[in-house]
Amino acid sequence: MKNIFIINPIAGKKDVTNIVTESLEKYKDKLDYEIYVTKGVGDATNFVRNYCENNNEEIRFYSCGGDGTLNEIINGVINYPNVSVACFPSGSGNDFIKVFGKRDDFLNIDNLINGQVNPVDVIKMNDKYTINICNFGLDAVIGEKMTLFKNKPFVSGKGAYVLSLIYNFFGKMRYECTVKVDGELFHDGPMILCALANGICYGGGYYCAPIAKVDDGLIDICLVKKISRFKFISLIGVYKKGKHLKDKRLKNIIKYIKGKNIEITSNVDLAYTLDGEIGKAKTISVSIVEKAINFVVPSV
C-alpha cells in the first residue's frame, strides 16, 4: 500500500513538516511512503486526484492540516474505492475527527498507519463535496470573516470563531430563504443560520448536530429561526455545547430534521461554507453520498 502524507504548511499555528518527517524516520525501510507539501489553495485536490488517476494500487492519504486540507483531499479522492483517508490534525479546528475520539489519538503516526478503515458518508453540494458540514447564513459569514482573526498571535481556531461571531453580531442577522427537505417544505422565511451536517460540530467545537451519524445515509439539518440579538446571546452557549435539541426554551427557535436531499433557494446570494471553503449562491442543492470515503480511525 502506498502511504502519502499531504502536509499543509500554513494550517494552524505551526508547520508540522519536520514533525511528520521525523516521525516517519523509523519507517524508512518498512513502509512505502512519500511526503507532499502543498503549495496553495486547491493544490491538495489536484495532487491527490492526479495521483489516483495514475495509480490503481491501494493508497492511503494522510491529511496533515485542518478541516480545509481534509476537505480538499476528499474532493480529490471521491469515486476511488482503492483509496483511504487518514487525518493528522494540525489545523485550527479539526472538527470532523471529534466524531471518533480525541485529537491526541490522531496525532500518533503509528496509530494512523495501523488504523482501521471505516466507510463514511459525504455531503455533495452542487458539484463539490464535504465530509463534515455545509452551512449558510450567519455561520458562513462568520467563517468568511474568521480570516481576519485566525492569523493573529495567540488566537486559536476557537478564538477566531468567537471573535468573528462578536464582529458579525452587530451586522446583518436576518437571511431570507426557502428550504425543502426530500421534496417537503421545511422552512420558508427569515432565519439566522442553518447547518447541514454529516459530522457533529464545526467552528472549533460548536456542536450543531450532536446526534448526527457519519454512516447513516442522512444529513442532519439544524436551522435557527430569526430571533432578537438578546435571545441569540442566550442561545449561543447552549448551541455550542450541543444541548439545544433538549432545551425546552428553544423549542420554537430551533428546527431540526434529517433527510437525504435539501434544496435552498433565495432571492439574493447566500453565503455558504464547506469546511472552510467559502462561496455564495442563490440556489444550493445538497445530497448525501453514502459510504463514499474510507476513513481511517486510529488504533489506540
Residue 242 has pLDDT above 80, yes or no: yes
- How far apart (Å, rounded) are the C-alpha atoms in residues 26 and 246? 49
pLDDT of residue 151: 67
The whole-angstrom separation of Cα 179 and Cα 183 is 9
Pairing of strands 175-181, 33-37: unpaired
pLDDT grade for 173, boundaries at 50, 70 and 90? confident
Indicate the average pLDDT of the chain: 90
Q: Which of 46-55, 148-157, 199-208 has the lowest mean pLDDT?
A: 148-157
Mean pLDDT of 240-252: 92
Residue 293: closest CA among 119, 76, 134: 119
pLDDT tens digits for range 12-26: 778 899 999 999 999
**pLDDT category, 156, cuts 50, 70, 90?**
low
Residue 74 has pLDDT above 80, yes or no: yes
Give residue 277's pLDDT. 79
Residues contacting 12, CB < 8 A, separation 6+: 65, 66, 90, 91, 92, 157
* The pLDDT of residue 191: 94
CA nearest neighbour of 85 among 98, 102, 101, 69: 69
Residue 215 Cα to chain centre, angstroms: 15
Task: Round to the nearest angstrom and report the end-to-end CA distance of the chain.
Answer: 21
Q: Which residue type does 253 have?
A: I
Please, are residues 89 and 19 in contact by the beta-carbon 8 Å criterion?
A: no
Identify the CA nearest to 84 among candidates 28, 8, 1, 19.
1
Average pLDDT over residues 29-38: 95
Residue 50 has pLDDT above 90, yes or no: yes
Among 100, 31, 33, residue whose Cα is nearest residue 62: 33
CA distance 13 to 90: 8
Confidence label for 283 from pLDDT (cuts 50, 70 and 90): very high
Residue 168 has pLDDT above 70, yes or no: no
Q: Are 59 and 28 in contact (CB under 8 A)?
A: no
Cα–Cα distance measured from residue 16 to residue 9, given in angstroms and rounded to the nearest whole number:
7
Mean local confidence (pLDDT), 194-214: 93
**Maximal CA-CA distance, the chain:** 62
- Whole-model pTM? 0.90
Mean pLDDT of 178-194: 96
Give the pLDDT of residue 33.
96
- Evaluate if residue 6 carries a pLDDT over 90: yes
Once rounded to an integer, what is the mean pLDDT over residues 282-298? 96
Burial class (CB in 10 A: 0-12, 13-18, 19+), 143: buried
236 membership: H or E segment, kind and range = helix 229-241
